Amino acid sequence: MQPRRQRTIARPAEFHGFGFLTGADVTLRFLPAEENHGIAFQRIDLPGTPPIPATLEYVVPRQRRTAISNGVASVELIEHVMAALAGLQIDNCLVQLNAPEAPGADGSSLDFVKTLLEADFTEQSALRDVLVIGDAYSVRGDDDRSEISAGPVFRRTLVVSYELDYGPRSPIKPQLLTFEFSPETFVTGLAYARTFILETEITALKSQGYGSRVTPADLLIFGTDGVIGNQLRAADECVRHKILDCIGDFALLGCDVHGHFRAYRSGHNLNHAICRMVSVARSPLHLLKTPA
């Protein structure tokens, strides 16, 4: 497969919402960017602070989400925005926002995808770098109950297999899905899949002052008998969301990646860890560079 050309959006586009964690109203503005710019987030509520590149080097440790910081500004919960950009293969974009957290929207990437599709795309001259995974890598979670590995794939593409199993007493049933990435399969198969949380977890978060505006209509909240006050969009929506998270987190590599990732209960921190492994290991032989 030949490297593809980089893309940006044809015109600015906006989305309004509120942050699931902080509850802050936020306007997210997507702006076109020149080739080789990559994705960067800029806090316009902190005037004068530079954009934060959305790459592994700027990721800061967080629980159950992806956040980036350049030391003077940070942005929380970028993963569903990143997934929308990566899913549509928009490589160069400046994302401005006026709050510390990206909008939660409906808990999926769907609203960001719709906003970006309305902005349309422009193909640029430079080719997109591709990291081709040639070796095998693996990383386990500290609790030894989660794992993600990466290895070569014969077809020059990105494949993610995800197994979700929270045990026999969990209201979230075991799910396994193998997903072969393309913009088309992303839009039809992943973009709509919403984030999920247990009722006990959201209760604990609210007692700590987080998630005050979140209701069962905003995302999937699982009680002991299943989803509360909402309906699944697909029987395997949860595993689809976990793969959506992977697509957003893998985009922190700043290039396309061709390989087969196999994840078992992996979350954002493990996703970042496997990306760091394949990133450090990449050599000129593995990276199809843009011709001069």
Is residue 66 part of the contact set for Zn ion (CB under 5 A)? no
Query: How far is Cα 123 from Cα 207, in angstroms, rounded to an integer?
Result: 47
- C-alpha 89/C-alpha 92 separation (Å) is 9
Q: Tokens for 54?
A: 């959305």
To Zn ion, the closest distance from the beta carbon of 208 in angstroms equals 20
- Beta strand ranges found along the chain (DSSP E): 5-9, 13-18, 25-32, 39-43, 52-53, 59-60, 67-69, 74-75, 93-97, 121-127, 130-132, 137-140, 147-151, 158-164, 175-180, 196-198, 220-223, 226-227, 256-264, 287-288
Which of 14-22, 118-126, 195-203, 253-261 is the region at the interface with Zn ion (rule: CB under 5 A)? 195-203
The one segment of 56-64, 126-134, 148-156, 243-251 that binds Zn ion by CB under 5 A: 243-251
Amino acid, single-letter form, for residue 243? I
Query: How far apart are CB 180 and Zn ion at their closest, in Å?
Result: 20
**Smallest separation (angstroms) from Zn ion to the CB of 97:** 17
37 is catalytic: no
Binding-site size for Zn ion (CB under 5 A) equals 2
Distance CA 234, CA 115 (A): 23
Closest CB 247 distance from Zn ion, rounded Å: 10
Helix ranges restricted to H, 120-209? 183-189, 199-207
Q: Give the separation between CA 248 and CA 245, rounded to whole angstroms.
A: 5
91, 111, 218, 245: which one binds Zn ion (CB under 5 A): 245
Cα-based distances in Å from 117 to 34, 74, 183: 19, 27, 11
CB of 80 to Zn ion, least distance (A): 6
Catalytic site residue from 258, 260, 268, 272? 268
When binding is defined by CB under 5 A, the residue of 55, 195, 230, 266 that contacts Zn ion is 195
Only one of the segments 119-127, 191-199, 207-215, 279-287 lies at the binding site for Zn ion (rule: CB under 5 A); that segment is 191-199
Measured from the CB atom, the residue of 249 and 256 that comes closer to Zn ion is: 249
Q: In terms of Cα–Cα distance, which of 41, 45, 44, 43 is closest to 55?
A: 41
* Choice between 35 and 249, CB closer to Zn ion: 249
Q: Which stretch binds Zn ion (CB under 5 A): 130-138, 175-183, 244-252, 270-278?
A: 244-252
DSSP 251: G
CB of 204 to Zn ion, least distance (A): 18
CB-nearer residue toward Zn ion: 195 or 271: 195
- Binding positions for Zn ion, rule: CB under 5 A: 195, 245
Q: Which sequence positions are flagged as catalytic?
A: 268
